[in-house]
């Protein structure tokens, strides 16, 4: 009894902590804990709920994994129509909007209208219905009067609260807003699709729409969707505030994310300044926007103005110029990246798109070239969104006469002439020249100096290219021997800038182990893996000396990454560069290793086999959260084998090797004792 009570209490505490962290992340954009810590709390809750299923509630943060697939979506009649917005494409049209409002409200030419301003996300509209503070329905706009019931999918979107926080919300509250896919998530999703030879999404908007209209909510749960609220539908209490901006603030208090860039501006001139300011920030925003929206702030005035032909008179979307344009492919060439990846690139007739002139667009790999069938001379749609690399969306005239042959992958590197390898089944072709290839050398140095790596201020791409071309620098260690004379002799480099760079180089020598590891540019070792390796091993020496199995004990490190790490440290020239860098004075503070206190199953190797009552992935995540490493095959190093029904050869092998075999009860005991640890 006492145990069940304490579990119930812990479940409550975990839920409220997780809800709090979710709000900090999505509503306030101010996370308090790192993602791994959030995941750990979530897994602790999952473990407790699996031991005490009676404690599970529909609003628990664990209930976002997605229900069973549907046959189709039901139709939903909107209680209040979901309107669309009129557009303005230049300042004159915006001024007309303001003038029409003043005329309709019979205000003088001098009277000023206060507007609420916010970016217009490039996503899709959604209506959320909360009853007594609980999310009961999510519906798409559809034709404005009837949409689709996508509740099961909406429940998987972490930015959308399953229950409202704070107080004072009406019994029925409908919230309207935009579902969108942040650019980073979109890029990663498409990269995974490309790696698997699957179809990619054309843009984040299509990816968001496709994900929200997925019949299997478990798939939606895996898509990085997010949400900002921008308005209201039915409200049982009539009104929740006197102005649009105050409504948004109340929604925020109740845990609904609203745009962090929303602002009240004094008049139409301030709207123009707001538009200009957002245009300048556009590329740096983590999501696509296609304009800004202005709304008369006072609700009383909104009501007086009303709507015409399905669009409110009190709001307007001031749109940015198009991000997709037509141009011609002048040629298709091949570029060599840091790890030798050979990428086909379309050289384009320069075209102005999304605020910059674009003359190159990536074609990713040969499969993509074939899929899109892009050839020299084609007219293509080019898309540029934010600071994402411009890409060819599709060919406009694939049936034209005398099209040249499709381009094929060259046998030799266009930069250094080394052989190009393309392993069977892999999408990426690589130059085999390694650091002999000047292209790879340049890219490796750019990566080494970049902000998230050694963060060497002033050592930009152009400078790296000059240094390599003039053979002043061959390896990262050479950067630290550059002299003032050498640097000030370079193009566009005054003595002052040269001295600043030397100062920046000196400063960068005080680094951290994760940064240093990341800067080395080991294949598949990104920032997160570099951090995990540092926490797991504590020192660079320990990482260099680790064997494949030891490496694989690290979070994020599977057999492929482990092989890349080993291959990197096995190369003499890499070890020489590291020694030279340390010799030049690069150093970092000691790293605190993860301890058994934090992760009670740290270092334990576990194999899961047979049919269990819960999905294997779920059990795997719970064990991993406690520090265990889950592997696929049984060996002398295995600590436990979790064996469900019909466990076959792995169970027999464990018996032969005398490895403890746990059934479901044994697994629960292991989880319980580790959580209580």
Sign, CA dihedral 421-425-427-428, equals negative
Q: What is the 3-state secondary structure (H, E, C) of 265-309?
A: ECCHHHHHHHHHHHHHHHHHCCCCEEEEEEEECEHHHHHHHCEEC
Give the binding-site size for ligand I6G (rule: CB under 6 A).
12
Residues numbered 270 to 299 that lie near ligand I6G (CB under 6 A) are 293
Is residue 120 close enough to count as binding ligand I6G by CB under 6 A? Answer: yes
Centre a 10 Å sphere on the Cβ of residue 658 and count the other Cβ atoms it contains.
Answer: 8
List the alpha helices (DSSP H) in 584-648: 616-625
Q: Which of 26, 180, 227, 230 binds ligand I6G (CB under 6 A)?
A: 230
CA distance 407 to 156: 43
CB of 171 to ligand I6G, least distance (A): 23
Considering only residues 46 to 85 of the shown chain, the ones binding ligand I6G according to CB under 6 A are 83-85
Active-site residue, selected from the candidate residues 106, 120, 349, 509: 120
CA gap 493, 496 in Å, rounded: 8
When binding is defined by CB under 6 A, the residue of 118, 174, 368, 391 that contacts ligand I6G is 118
Where are the extended beta strands (E) located within 451-512? none
Nearer to ligand I6G, 21 or 141 (CB): 141
Our finding on whether 312 is near ligand I6G (CB under 6 A) is: yes
Build a one-symbol-per-residue string for 84-103: x at contacts with ligand I6G by CB under 6 A, - elsewhere.
xx------------------
Max Cα–Cα distance, the chain, nearest Å = 92
Asked about 509 being catalytic, the answer comes back as no
User: For residue 171, what are its two tokens?
Assistant: 């019994």
Q: Which is nearer to ligand I6G, 248 or 501 (CB)?
A: 248
**Does residue 313 interact with ligand I6G by CB under 6 A?**
no
> How far apart are the C-alpha atoms of 368 and 370, rounded to whole Å?
5
CB of 208 to ligand I6G, least distance (A): 13
Shortest Å, Cβ 262 to ligand I6G: 8
SS3 string of 219-274? HHHCCCCEEEEEEEEEECCCCCCCEHHHHHHHHHHCCCCECCCCEEECCHHHHHHH
**Closest residue by beta carbon to ligand I6G:** 230
* Selection from 132, 165, 158, 226 nearest residue 20 by Cα: 165
Q: Is 490 in the site for ligand I6G (CB under 6 A)?
A: no
- Cβ proximity to ligand I6G: between 229 and 479 the closer is 229
Q: Residues 18, 48, 315, 439: which binds ligand I6G (CB under 6 A)?
A: 315
Contacts to ligand I6G from residues 169-198, by CB under 6 A = 178
> Which H or E run includes 412?
none
Instruction: Specify the residue, 301 or 315, whose C-beta has the smaller distance to ligand I6G.
Output: 315
CB of 421 to ligand I6G, least distance (A): 48
Q: Are 609 and 648 in contact (CB under 8 A)?
A: yes
Closest distance to ligand I6G from the beta carbon of 386 (Å): 19
CB closer to ligand I6G, 118 vs 624 = 118
| Residue 93 Cβ vs ligand I6G, minimum distance, rounded to whole Å | 17
Report in angstroms how near the CB of residue 97 gets to ligand I6G at its nearest: 14
Nearest by Cα to 21 from 9, 36, 7, 8: 36
* DSSP output for 50-95: HH-GGG--TTSTTTTS--SPPSSPPEEE-SS-----EEE-SHHHHH
- Tell whether residue 205 is a contact of ligand I6G (CB under 6 A): no
Q: Which stretch binds ligand I6G (CB under 6 A): 117-125, 166-174, 410-418, 628-636?
A: 117-125
Catalytic positions, written as ranges: 120
Residues near ligand I6G (CB under 6 A) are 83-85, 118, 120, 125, 178, 230-231, 293, 312, 315
């Amino acid at each position: 009894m006492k145990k069940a009570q304490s579990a119930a209490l812990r479940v409550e505490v975990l839920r409220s902590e997780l809800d709090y962290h979710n709000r900090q992340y999505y509503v306030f954009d101010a996370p308090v804990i790192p993602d791994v810590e959030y995941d750990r709390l979530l897994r602790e809750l999952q473990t407790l709920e699996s031991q005490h299923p009676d404690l599970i509630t529909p609003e628990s943060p664990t209930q976002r994994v997605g229900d069973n697939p549907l046959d189709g979506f039901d139709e939903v009649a909107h209680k209040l129509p979901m309107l669309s917005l009129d557009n303005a494409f230049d300042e004159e049209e915006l001024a007309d909007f303001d003038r029409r409002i003043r005329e309709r409200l019979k205000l003088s030419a001098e009277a000023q209208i206060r507007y609420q301003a916010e970016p217009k996300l490039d996503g899709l509209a959604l209506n959320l219905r909360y009853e007594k503070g609980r999310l009961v329905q999510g519906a798409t706009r559809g034709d404005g009067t009837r949409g689709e019931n996508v509740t099961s999918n909406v429940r998987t979107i972490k930015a959308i609260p399953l229950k409202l926080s704070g107080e004072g919300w009406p019994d029925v509250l409908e919230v309207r807003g935009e579902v969108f896919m942040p650019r980073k998530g979109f890029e990663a999703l498409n990269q995974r699709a490309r790696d698997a030879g699957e179809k990619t999404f054309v843009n984040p908007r299509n990816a968001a729409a496709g994900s929200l209209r997925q019949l299997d909510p478990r798939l939606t749960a895996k898509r990085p969707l997010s949400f900002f609220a921008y308005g209201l539908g039915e409200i049982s209490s009539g009104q929740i505030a006197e102005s649009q901006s105050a409504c948004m603030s109340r929604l925020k208090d109740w845990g609904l994310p609203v745009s962090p860039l929303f602002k009240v501006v004094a008049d139409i001139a301030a709207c123009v300044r707001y538009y200009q300011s957002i245009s300048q920030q556009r590329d740096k925003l983590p999501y696509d926007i296609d304009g800004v929206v202005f709304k008369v702030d006072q609700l009383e005035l909104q009501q007086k103005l009303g709507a015409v032909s399905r669009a409110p008179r009190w709001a307007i979307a001031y749109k940015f110029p198009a991000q997709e344009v037509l141009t011609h492919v002048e040629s298709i060439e091949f570029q060599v990246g840091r790890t030798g990846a050979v990428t086909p690139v379309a050289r384009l007739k320069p075209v102005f798109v999304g605020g910059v002139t674009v003359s190159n667009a990536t074609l990713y790999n040969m499969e993509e070239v074939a899929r899109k069938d892009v050839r020299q001379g084609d007219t293509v749609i080019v898309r540029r969104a934010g600071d994402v690399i411009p890409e060819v969306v599709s060919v406009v005239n694939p049936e034209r006469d005398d099209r040249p042959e499709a381009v094929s992958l060259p046998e030799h590197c266009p930069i250094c002439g080394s052989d190009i390898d393309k392993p069977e089944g892999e999408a990426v072709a690589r130059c085999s020249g390694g650091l002999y290839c000047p292209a790879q050398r340049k890219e490796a140095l750019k990566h080494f100096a970049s902000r998230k790596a050694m963060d060497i201020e002033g050592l930009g791409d152009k400078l790296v290219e000059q240094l390599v071309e003039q053979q002043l620098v061959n390896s990262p260690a050479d950067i630290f021997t550059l002299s003032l004379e050498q640097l000030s002799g370079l193009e566009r480099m005054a003595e002052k800038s040269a001295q600043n760079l030397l100062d920046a180089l000196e400063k960068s020598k005080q680094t951290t182990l994760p940064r240093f590891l990341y800067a080395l540019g080991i294949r598949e070792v990104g920032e997160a893996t570099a951090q995990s390796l540092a926490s797991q091993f504590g020192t660079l020496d320990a990482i260099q000396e680790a064997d494949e199995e030891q490496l694989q004990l690290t979070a994020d490190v599977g057999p492929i990454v482990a092989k890349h790490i080993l291959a990197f440290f096995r190369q003499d020239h890499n070890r020489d560069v590291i020694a030279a860098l340390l010799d030049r004075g690069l150093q970092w503070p000691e790293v605190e290793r993860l301890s058994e206190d934090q992760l009670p199953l740290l270092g334990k190797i576990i194999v899961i086999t047979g049919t269990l009552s819960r999905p294997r992935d779920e059990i795997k995540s719970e064990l991993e959260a406690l520090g265990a490493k889950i592997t696929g095959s049984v060996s002398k190093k295995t600590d436990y084998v979790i064996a469900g029904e019909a466990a076959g050869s792995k169970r027999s092998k464990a018996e032969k090797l005398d490895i403890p075999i746990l059934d479901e009860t044994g697994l629960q005991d292991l989880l319980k004792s580790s959580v209580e640890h």
